[in-house]
């Protein structure tokens, strides 16, 4: 940790150098003190120095910042009337802090408040002192700009130039700085002079300048919004800004694009910024699309990225991921009072060029609302829009297709299974709008290449009772008659009969006893999911209670906050078993899961493929996963071959999908081979 280890240059200039990655970050990362005197400071710079700042904090570094504020004509009048400068500064900063609090969801503002709260950053305010007491020069500012880095060996690097402590200063403006360091003899005098300048400023002993402590009231406001820990450890930096001398970006962030993600990005760009990504659950669809968004931002001037998710918990997960990239996010769900005005303001900022990029995350429900649509329609033609549809199959339904605007030139659809089940029209609309599947990455390949966990598959054959089978046959006859009469497949009565028939298979009585037997033999049930039906929920809970298993329900009855709490307890191992219905099917991250008991499942491939995906995410110490799949079969010696084949076809589709790429596929197939052979269904397995 030494400043001498950096290959420093005497001058850095925009165009010739990247001031951030070549100078600022390596100096900050190798320092224990950073003293900065500057005319203007903006917290946006935290977004770009965060790699160095993370290491600076690990070094237990301390930053002292002196910056200015510009007094207004009104302030000058107040001073003439006898108001104290300290009070004028307090009023000014109080207003500025209130503006910051309006955007307190931004990572850089949260991190700024955290730095102040934890004592890593101390700020003072410098005001140009007028020559007399009339304060005629109210427009005069303290406008000096220099900085001093100090390492643990006492060596120092000083820089001086025209740039402010802001993203504009360090990145976007054309600037230059002169650099000198303490171990170079001929420059020691210049180094000592700058150190003395800063000492006098900090102690308020410089002529012509008055320096004040940061107002306590404003400081308390910032500390109040400070998170318990920095957002994403304050180490995110745009990968395009990182060079070799920045400290261990890849290891710390662990989001270096995988080869297949780069392939997906390239395919999407070549397909005119459009495409469906058919990627297995757990292979990084979210990160892939964010990296695509970065390419879209780079290739366009003003950009709006709209991310549409089916559920609120997915909106929250997207926001968490985007925070890692330090993007400003507008979260649009719940009451429109919470987001409508903010969304309109950000769109206006894009239209007039104040902002270059905005991210909007919302649910399909909110995106279909007139309020949201009206706000989006304010977008100027010069603003390019990228639509990202998460679990994109939801956007193919009749009531959601209005989201698919023709003027959105960028389009990404994400799903492990983009085809809509029993909806060819909806599927065609999706494929046409997103210009087809531009990238596929299936489960087998992801497991083979080590990005998902291999799994064992154990089919558990469960006989229906005679009564259950008779009920199944009766419903099948009614369904067949309705279909023969020409009733549409989406007829409500027909749909109700089919759901009722499916429920017989899902809630088969004998599943409970078999589940009890399996659970009683388990030594460790930590990180286990149990998928069940509404009708079985109470029985499953009774089994777990009797076995003394600590479990938690995860259903539609739990609100979003409660779900997040449950998932955190599960991830920590404080809850051994989650008992779920449909709420874990899409998007919920439970990578620690090692076992799944599937007692209930529909014949919709989307559902059971998503459920398998919940178990296969990588996790430290997790070498393989185990899936127990409860497959309903007819009772022995029942004569209705048609109904028997109907049940088996329904169950064997899932069996084939799960068995084919399991670690024990031959043992799994052997278990059901005789049954499939007897009923002439070998082609189904």
* Segments forming the whole domain that contains residue 539: 455-684
For the chain, how big is the Rg over CA atoms in Å?
Answer: 31
Under 8 Å between Cβ of 273 and 410: yes
Same domain, 533 and 666: yes
What confidence tens digit (pLDDT) does each residue in 524-573 have? 888 899 988 888 889 999 999 998 888 888 876 777 778 778 888 888 88
Sorting pLDDT into bands at 50, 70 and 90, what band is 603? Answer: low
β-pairing, 357-363 vs 302-309, is parallel
Same-domain check for residues 459 and 320: no
Q: Which of 194, 214, 241 corresponds to the end of one domain?
A: 241
- Give dist(CA 643, CA 474) in Å, integer: 10
Q: In the listed set 241, 273, 300, which residue is the last one of a domain according to the structure?
A: 241
Task: Note whether 272 and 174 are same-domain residues.
Answer: no
Is 475 a domain residue? yes
Both 443 and 357 in one domain: the answer is yes
In a domain, 343, yes or no: yes
In a domain, 29, yes or no: yes
Q: Is residue 236 part of a domain?
A: yes
Task: Give the domain CATH number at 545.
Answer: 3.40.50.300
Q: Is there a contact between 277 and 56 (Cβ–Cβ < 8 Å)? A: no
Residue 249 lies in a domain: no
Burial of 596 (0-12, 13-18, 19+ CB in 10 A): buried
- Which residue, 420, 448, 476, sits at the end of a domain? 448
**575 shares a domain with 510:** yes
Q: Inform me whether the pLDDT recorded for 685 exceeds 80.
A: no
- Give the domain CATH number at 106: 3.30.870.10
Q: What is the pLDDT of residue 236?
A: 36
What tens digit of pLDDT does each residue of 27-63 get?
998 899 999 999 888 887 886 787 678 788 888 899 9
Most confident of 172-176, 253-257, 631-635, 659-663: 659-663
pLDDT above 70 for 71: no
Tell me which H or E stretch contains 528.
Answer: strand 528-531
Residues 442 and 505 in one domain: no
Statement: residue 678 has pLDDT above 70? no
Give the per-residue pLDDT at 81. 52
Higher pLDDT, 410 or 15: 410
Indicate the average pLDDT of the chain: 83
Instruction: Give the distance between the most distant pair of CA atoms in the chain.
Output: 108
- Cβ contacts of residue 419 below 8 Å, gap of 6+? 393, 427
Same domain membership, residue 480 and residue 509: yes
pLDDT tens per residue across span 411-432: 999 988 888 766 788 889 999 9
For 205-256, how does the pLDDT look when each residue is reduced to its tens digit (9 = 90+)?
998 888 989 888 888 888 888 887 776 533 333 333 333 223 333 333 446 7
Structural domain contains residue 504: yes
The domain tally of the chain equals 3
Q: Are residues 96 and 208 located together in one domain of the fold?
A: yes
Confidence class for position 670, pLDDT limits 50, 70, 90:
confident
Same domain, 268 and 149: no
Among the ranges 74-88, 207-221, 437-451, which has the highest mean pLDDT value? 437-451
Instruction: Please check whether residue 292 lies inside any domain of the structure.
Output: yes
| Residues 391 and 478 both lie in one domain | no
The answer to whether residues 157 and 269 belong to one domain is no
- Using CA atoms, how far apart are residues 578 and 570, in angstroms rounded to an integer? 8
Same domain, 233 and 272: no
| Mean pLDDT, residues 319-340 taken together | 83
559 in a domain, yes or no?
yes
Length of the chain: 685
The predicted-structure confidence for 473-528, as pLDDT tens digits, reads as follows 888 888 888 888 888 766 788 888 888 888 888 889 999 999 999 999 888 888 89
DSSP string, 16-27: TB-IIIIIIHHH
Question: Which of these, 195, 125, 134, lies nearest to 160 by C-alpha position?
Answer: 195
The predicted structure's pLDDT at residue 401: 85
């Amino acid at each position: 940790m030494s400043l001498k280890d950096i290959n420093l240059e005497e001058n850095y200039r925009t165009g010739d150098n990247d001031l951030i990655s070549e100078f600022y970050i390596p100096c900050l990362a190798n320092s224990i003190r950073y003293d900065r005197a500057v005319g203007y400071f903006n917290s946006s710079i935290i977004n770009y120095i965060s790699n160095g700042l993370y290491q600076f904090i690990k070094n237990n570094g301390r930053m002292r910042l002196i910056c200015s504020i510009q007094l207004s004509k009104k302030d000058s009048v107040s001073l003439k009337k006898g108001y104290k400068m300290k009070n004028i500064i307090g009023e000014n900063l109080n207003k500025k802090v209130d503006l910051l609090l309006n955007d307190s969801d931004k990572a850089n503002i949260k991190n700024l408040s955290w730095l102040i709260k934890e004592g890593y950053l101390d700020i003072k305010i410098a005001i140009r002192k007028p020559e007399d007491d009339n304060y005629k020069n109210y427009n005069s500012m303290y406008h000096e700009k220099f900085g001093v880095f100090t390492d643990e060996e006492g060596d120092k690097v000083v820089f001086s130039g025209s740039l402010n402590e802001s993203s504009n200063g360090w990145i976007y403006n054309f600037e230059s700085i002169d650099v000198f360091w303490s171990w170079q003899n001929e420059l020691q005098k210049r180094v000592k002079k700058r150190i003395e300048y800063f000492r006098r400023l900090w102690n308020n002993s410089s002529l012509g300048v008055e320096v004040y402590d940061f107002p306590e009231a404003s400081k308390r406001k910032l500390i109040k919004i400070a998170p318990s820990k920095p957002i994403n450890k304050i180490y995110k930096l745009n990968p395009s800004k990182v060079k070799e001398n920045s400290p261990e970006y890849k290891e710390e962030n662990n989001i270096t694009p995988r080869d297949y993600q780069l392939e997906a990005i390239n395919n999407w760009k070549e397909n005119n910024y459009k495409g469906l990504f058919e990627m297995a659950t757990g292979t990084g669809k979210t990160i892939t699309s964010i990296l695509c968004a970065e390419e879209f931002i780079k290739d366009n001037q003003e950009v709006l990225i709209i991310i549409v998710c089916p559920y609120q918990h997915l909106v929250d997960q997207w926001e968490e991921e985007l925070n890692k990239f330090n993007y400003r996010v507008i979260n649009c769900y719940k009451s429109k009072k919470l987001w409508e005005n903010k969304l309109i303001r950000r769109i206006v900022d894009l239209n007039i060029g104040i902002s270059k990029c905005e991210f909007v995350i919302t649910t399909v429900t909110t995106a279909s609302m007139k309020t949201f649509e009206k706000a989006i329609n304010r977008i100027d033609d010069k603003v390019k829009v990228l639509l990202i549809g998460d679990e994109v199959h939801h956007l193919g339904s009749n009531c959601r297709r209005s989201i698919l605007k023709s003027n959105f030139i960028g389009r990404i659809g994400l799903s492990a299974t983009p085809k809509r089940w029993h909806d060819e029209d909806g599927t065609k609309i999706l494929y046409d709008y997103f210009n087809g599947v531009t990238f596929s990455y299936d489960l087998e390949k992801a497991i083979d290449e080590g990005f998902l966990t291999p799994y064992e598959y154990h089919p558990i054959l469960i006989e229906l009772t005679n009564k259950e089978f008779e009920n199944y046959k009766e419903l099948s006859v009614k369904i067949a008659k309705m279909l023969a009469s020409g009733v549409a497949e989406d007829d409500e009565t027909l749909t109700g009969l089919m759901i009722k028939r499916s429920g017989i298979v899902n809630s088969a009585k004998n599943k409970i006893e078999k589940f009890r037997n399996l659970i009683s033999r388990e030594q460790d049930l930590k990180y286990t999911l149990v998928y069940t039906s509404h009708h079985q929920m109470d029985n499953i809970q009774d089994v777990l209670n009797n076995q003394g298993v600590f479990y938690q329900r995860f259903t539609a009855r739990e609100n979003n906050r409660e779900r997040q709490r449950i998932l955190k307890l599960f991830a920590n191992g404080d809850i051994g078993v989650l008992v779920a219905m449909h709420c874990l099917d899409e998007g919920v991250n439970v990578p620690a899961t090692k076992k799944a008991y599937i007692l209930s499942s529909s014949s919709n491939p989307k559902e059971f493929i998503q459920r398998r995906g919940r178990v296969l995410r990588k996790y430290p110490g997790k070498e393989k996963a185990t899936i127990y799949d409860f497959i309903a079969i007819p009772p022995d010696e029942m004569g209705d071959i048609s109904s028997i084949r109907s049940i088996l076809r329904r169950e064997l589709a899932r069996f084939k999908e799960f068995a084919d790429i399991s670690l024990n596929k031959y043992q799994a197939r052997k278990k059901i081979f005789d049954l499939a052979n007897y009923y002439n269904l070998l082609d189904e397995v």
